[in-house]
Amino acid sequence: MSTTFRNYIDGVPVDASDGRTLDVVNPATGDVYATSPLSGAADVDAAMAAAARAFPFWRDTTPSVRQRALLKIADGMEAWADELLAAECRDTGKPLHLTRSEELIPAIDQVRFFAGAARMLEGRSAGEYMKGMTSIVRREPVGVCAQVAPWNYPLLMAVWKFAPALAAGNTVVLKPSDTTPASTVLMAGIIGSVLTELGLPRGIFNVVCGDRETGRLMVEHPTPAMASITGSVRAGTQVAESASKDLKRVHLELGGKAPAVVFEDADLTEAIEDLVVGGFFNAGQDCTAATRVLVHESVHDEFVAALAKAAADTRTGLPDDEDVLYGPLNNADQLARVSGFIERLPGHAKVEAGGHQVGDKGYFYAPTVVSGLKQDDEIVQQEVFGPVITVQSFTDEAQAVRYANGVDYAPASSVWTKDHARAMRMSKNLDFGCVWINTHMALVAEMPHGGFKKSGYGKDLSAYGFEDYTRIKHVMTSL
């Protein structure tokens, strides 16, 4: 029996006002299993109006009230963990055991982190900077936030958006990806129950399902003071352009092409073990995935051979298979995109492992390693967003830095060496929002996540991510 998802506006589950729907496909099978609303202008208007009505009340609550609400939301997520996990894995095809440990549990923890952050806003102390005048600095919520979450980590990215926004006193209209609405719609019900229990306006948090046009309507709507999106560079550029028409604040977390720089003194076994996970986890659908490995020429051939073997030993498969590292690509278009990169490889490239679809159902793609590449090759320069690791060789540290920095994307990078001074030099010279040393893809709630260059601006997680959802006001009074 098909499932029907609904929008969640002012605490009420509702269909799109004109009755339009989208099919939701299980990527592990390729079969349609549900429908969700294809929301239009009337639905966006209704959600924005609900958020705007709720904002004055929520803005004027104390941090302790917002903390209590977020802590109860985290408790609700814990109570509904099995249902959230099932919803997430049905929409994404991800392995259940890894999604629980690596996504669901961290998501709950991150809600609790921002619950604490709600009571820890800091500013300069009051003081006299002009004779006869005292100045203070207020931090305030920005207002209604229009937020668009991606399909690669639907639940986790929703948390990264709504938790800091709510903690700071903003109200939210959130749109999940059209391919992955399930966990966000379920989350809306959890949050709505908490708001009702605490006697708070249910319009504080709203969910509107739909496609790119729905997202555009949200960003261009006159009500939000801020637009936040996690997605492709193309989508981020369109959001920035749309938001510029009325000077909305914009928070962008976009594409990636993370380099892993492996020096000759690195522990190659440890590096390969970590980079297989860093490159293939979530089918490589991660802006921080270790998609580009740069290896010193003296150990290049040894490294490539070992990495290819490790890739061949890595499995993709169905959500309930505890021996797989990752599931399918998210949708048919993404499978075609990844396949296209491999089909267009230049003659000097060599596929060392994988390079093909797996099975005849769903959107599975084999763990793939490609060597023999040049810096200007398409697959080196453009985001694949699939289980594909490219390998290049370098001669010295300076060339490694040039190759690593020589792309348009810059969310994250890693350095593999036993030389502490070299690691410090590389962390200074790598032009990326994060530099890991002898590890890759580790994230914690207390540290910021966000890239440079075409990977966008603004930070997720940490106190910095919290502050992004506030504005600063100077108040001066005569003595």
Which one is catalytic: 88, 102, 220, 253?
A: 253
Tell me whether residue 253 is one of the annotated catalytic residues. yes
Q: 47: domain range? A: 3-254+455-478
Give the CA diameter of the chain: 77
In CATH, what number is assigned to the domain containing residue 91?
A: 3.40.605.10
How confident is the model over 301-307, as a mean pLDDT? Answer: 98
Residue 334 has pLDDT above 90, yes or no: yes
Quick: pLDDT tens for 409-463: 999 999 999 999 999 999 999 999 999 999 999 999 999 999 999 999 999 999 9
pLDDT band at 1 (very low <50, low <70, confident <90, very high): low
- The string over 30-48, giving b where at least 16 C-beta atoms fall within 10 Å of a residue's C-beta and e elsewhere, is beeebbbbbbbeebbebbb
Q: What is the number of domains present in the chain?
A: 2
CA distance 176 to 208: 8
Residues 6+ apart with CB under 8 A from 24: 3, 5, 32, 33, 34, 35, 36, 91, 179, 180, 181, 182
In-domain check, residue 158: yes
CA distance 236 to 250: 9
How confident is the model over 341-353, as a mean pLDDT? Answer: 98
Verify that 425 and 440 share a domain, yes or no.
yes
In-domain check, residue 300: yes
CA angle 459, 461, 462 (to 5 degrees): 95
Q: What pTM does this model have?
A: 0.96
In-domain check, residue 450: no
The neighbouring-strand residues paired with 372 are: none
Which one is catalytic: 89, 287, 352, 383?
A: 287
Verify that 303 and 440 share a domain, yes or no.
yes
In-domain check, residue 305: yes
Amino acid at site 63: P
Residues 6+ apart with CB under 8 A from 354: 311, 312, 365, 366, 367, 368, 369, 387, 388
How confident is the model over 351-377, as a mean pLDDT? Answer: 97
Quick: pLDDT tens for 58-93: 999 999 999 999 999 999 999 999 999 999 999 999
Structure tokens at 462: 């940490």
Residue 128 has pLDDT above 90, yes or no: yes
Quick: pLDDT tens for 146-201: 999 999 999 999 999 999 999 999 999 999 999 999 999 999 999 999 999 999 99
In-domain check, residue 120: yes
How confident is the model over 274-291, as a mean pLDDT? Answer: 98
CA distance 340 to 186: 35
Quick: pLDDT tens for 196-247: 999 999 999 999 999 999 999 999 999 999 999 999 999 999 999 999 999 9
Percent of the chain residues topping a pLDDT of 70: 100
In-domain check, residue 275: yes
Residue 296 has pLDDT above 90, yes or no: yes
**Within 13 Å of residue 252, how many CA atoms lie on the same side as its CB?**
27
In-domain check, residue 69: yes
pLDDT score for 338: 98
Verify that 426 and 462 share a domain, yes or no.
no
Quick: pLDDT tens for 192-204: 999 999 999 999 9
pLDDT band at 125 (very low <50, low <70, confident <90, very high): confident
pLDDT score for 54: 98
Verify that 65 and 81 share a domain, yes or no.
yes
In CATH, what number is assigned to the domain containing residue 334?
A: 3.40.309.10
Verify that 147 and 165 share a domain, yes or no.
yes
pLDDT band at 124 (very low <50, low <70, confident <90, very high): confident
Structure tokens at 364: 């599975």
Average pLDDT of the chain, as a whole number: 97
Verify that 191 and 305 share a domain, yes or no.
no
CA distance 361 to 351: 24
pLDDT score for 230: 95
Verify that 318 and 248 share a domain, yes or no.
no
Verify that 66 and 132 share a domain, yes or no.
yes
CA distance 238 to 216: 8
Verify that 348 and 306 share a domain, yes or no.
yes
Residue 100 is given by DSSP the state I
Verify that 85 and 67 share a domain, yes or no.
yes
pLDDT band at 121 (very low <50, low <70, confident <90, very high): confident
In-domain check, residue 70: yes
Verify that 52 and 185 share a domain, yes or no.
yes
The neighbouring-strand residues paired with 357 are: 365
Verify that 160 and 108 share a domain, yes or no.
yes
